[in-house]
Amino acid sequence: MERLRLLIVDDHPLFRKGLRTLVGSVPDFDLVGEATTGEEAVARSLALQPDVVLMDLQMPDGSGIEATREIVAASPTTKVLVVTLFEDDDSVFAALRAGARGYLLKDTDEEEMVRAIRAVANGEAIFGPAVAGRVLAYFAVPRREAPRHFPELTEREREILHLLAQGKSNPAIARELSLSPKTVANHVSNIFAKLQVADRAEAIIRARDAGLR
């Protein structure tokens, strides 16, 4: 029987303990490590090369979304299964855009959690009942492709530029997107360089001229 290597990422000790117990009860699951921050998650995922990362979204140093994006980009064979308290549309779709293969809430029962881990490891996409309906509804509605402003920017950079155009500060953007202030500052610097603007005010003018409000 092929064993699945799992990495747990969560900053709550009691929840990590519960997942650790669950993983230990399944004969073909191996827990290869744990992490409590997004930065640790990325480093340990690259070092340990787990088959599945069980990823919380909210952690002290920022977002599990950013960690998910970095893990998937650096190690395409590692699958990320989000296990979180948050079921709002913004969190769900941000996680999917970052490359997560599944999305469960923390109150998912043990049997469903085990099935989801196996499904994600096999390349399937899996969603808990509370999330699946909204995902299906989203993709069932035809959508026209909107013109992309500033194609030289990444999706995350355009998102941050939009918030800049609304007059939001870096700390406010960090809170809204569940990113660390340092990550936001790096993105803002990249935006300035790509748009060839000297400062925040000039970037806001460019954004508003393009219709971002």
pLDDT at 103 (0 to 100): 94
* pLDDT number for residue 146: 45
Domain regions of the chain by residue span: 4-140, 155-209
Q: Which of the four CATH numbers 3.40.50.2300, 3.90.1640.20, 1.10.150.120, 3.20.20.100 does domain 4-140 have?
A: 3.40.50.2300
pLDDT of residue 184: 92
Residues 6+ apart with CB under 8 A from 15: 56, 106
d(CA 125, CA 79): 10
CA distances (Å), 123 to each of 95, 117, 131, in order?
A: 16, 10, 19
- State the DSSP string of 122-171: TT--EE-HHHHHHHHHHHHS--PPPPPS-TTS-HHHHHHHHHHHTT--HH
Confidence (pLDDT) at 140: 63
Q: What DSSP designation does 88 have?
A: S
The series of mean pLDDT values per 10 residues for the chain, 213 residues long, is 91 95 96 95 96 92 85 92 87 87 92 94 86 69 58 88 88 88 92 89 85 71
pLDDT of residue 138: 66
Q: What is the CATH number of domain 155-209?
A: 1.10.10.10
